[in-house]
Structure 1
């Protein structure tokens, strides 16, 4: 069994979910000997305040080009764990990151960018979903080429912060909770359960996984904050706002049509993911929170409260 992760290096730390991952590490920095991020010169220039804040909190800033092997090899030196939070458009850059980590004398643990829907949940249909293709290529590479590394896929389901938000334009029909107008658009019949993880909890659960020995590699951990139906979410919005909302529904049939139209226009990823969630694509037989020590996670009530505060300009 590999030694516990103590020196963690994060790629994509200033991105959408990377911010929460690095925050989770910093919040529990006493458990780690060293925390670093690998970032580009452009990010250092464009996000000066964010980078400065990370430095002040003891994070090592390693600057380079993720596509230059020499920069990555140099960054790996002195670290034992790689955490990737690379975005969807750069997912395939993880393949050379894996190759170089496998050859590294110090790296023994790798958490790739898997946060979100389980891309192998439905054996027959999942391999054909368009948004899954790049992550599937990474998993294929891991199965065929990685022997030394301890690899863990942290599967979280959809981010509740985004699902519980107000949508505009055509995308409103793909689900929306609009506090100001008191209007909701529910997917399916509103009774389909969806397993959610808050973005904050992605960081919390990842840190918990780092601190918990996991047998087997590659290992998939399916974790979440809470499970709820669209109707249950709406009921909580109504309870906290103290009023009844107007409600519309988008059936699965209509959602599939919207999805097809979006792909014809260029990119239907957001529609495809919401269709997968509505079909039950996040309802795992059991969650692995207990396997990583059952860390405290957010509730539906707390997430709705945050959504209301954000939409009212108080969060």
Structure 2
């Protein structure tokens, strides 16, 4: 497949989802005369824990630009010669994107910007505007609508990452999850409510697919997924791959709502996760049709539930 005809700059490229997106873009390669770069802090660039990953990427042609994301001069210099900016910033840094997008608008070369939208659909229905975890992403979208006129933006809405959904988080086990070591699962309601998921490697694949299809992606909010399944289907896949029956417990959704309220009242860092799990259980990840096909991707191009569960079982066996 042809290489990407852009010079691309990535923010948050070494983060949880950023490393998957950066790896996918590097694998797709930039065409002759173009480059792929990440913008990162000096502390990240020199972090010993990041060196194996950065060294691998540099051998694939990645350029590393260091600077302060809050320094307009640093960002403006990084934008020189860049066609596309891909943001992979985490939840705590989302509002910083308004300055990044404004600087892109004022740059001489940036034409296309991907805000960090990977995750739950923040404009799924009328109730979405009131969900607390959505507020910063909604502010970024509003800023783009009101202030950005030249640069085209693409929102890649992936729904929950199945890889993270499989975790049973200590202290909030009631919101659902899976523990491979103890062969234990917790599901919300009956566990038979469908949820649309994307695997983290597939997020990278979908970003590349969007880059390959600018006419379908520019200026759009794309709803994309790896697959749809239910919490109980996940339990059965774990049982199949581990060869044993799992212990499964069930949390009524009202109990999830009550816990969510308590967590927000205590300003718990787990409150947003509880809200998101409730949203997913309520069916707000489901679409009559996704935009995968518009990006040239069919079911056979995406990871399966078996793939992701196999990866989780394999990782647990190494502990």
Q: Which residue of 2 aligns with 1:207?
A: 208
Give yes or no for the alignment of 1:309 onto 2:314. yes
Give SS of 2:201's match.
helix
TM value normalised by structure 1: 0.94
Measure how far apart 1:188 and its partner are: 2.0
Q: Work out which of the residue numbers 52, 58, 61 in structure 1 matches 2:55.
A: 52
Task: Select which of 294, 298, 302 maps to 1:297.
Answer: 302
CA shift in 2, pair 1:142/1:270, >3 Å: same
State the match for 1:114 in structure 2.
117
- Residue 28 of structure 2 corresponds to 28
Confirm whether residue 138 of structure 1 aligns to residue 140 of structure 2: yes
Which runs of 5 or more residues in structure 2 are unaligned?
Answer: none
Provide the rounded CA distance (Å) in 2 between the counterparts of 1:129 and 1:281: 12
Query: Which of 70, 95, 98 is the equivalent residue of 1:95?
Result: 98
Where in structure 2 are the equivalents of 1:118-129 lying within 5 Å?
Answer: 118-123=121-126, 125-129=127-131
Partner of 1:175: 176
Asked whether the 8 Å contact 1:5–1:210 carries over to 2, the reply is: no
Describe the superposition over 1:98-136 as per-residue Cα deviations: whole angstroms up to 9, x where unpaired.
10111111000000000000001012x111111000000
CA distance in 1, matches of 2:65, 2:77: 9
Report deviation, 1:240.
1.3
CA contact (8 A) 1:5 1:81 kept: no
The whole-number CA distance in structure 2 between the counterparts of 1:300 and 1:162 is: 13
Taking the aligned partners of 1:245 and 1:140, their CA distance within structure 2 comes to 45
Structure 1 window deviating more from structure 2 (294-303 vs 267-276): it is: 294-303
CA RMSD of aligned residues (A): 1.5
Separation in 2, partners of 1:30, 1:104:
21
Change (3 A) 1:85 1:177: same
SS in 2 for 1:214: helix
- Counterpart of 1:83 in 2: which secondary structure? strand
5+ residue gaps, structure 1: none
Which residue of 1 is the match for residue 9 of structure 2?
9
Matches of 1:237 and 1:265 in 2, distance apart?
34
Bigger CA drift: 207-216 or 61-70?
207-216
The reply on whether 1:221 has 2:226 as its aligned counterpart is: no
Q: Tell me which residue corresponds to 2:249.
A: 248
Q: Is the 8 A contact 2:6 2:30 kept in 1?
A: no
Task: Report the TM-score when normalising by structure 2.
Answer: 0.93
Residue number in structure 1 paired with 2:266? 265
Shift of 1:211: 0.5
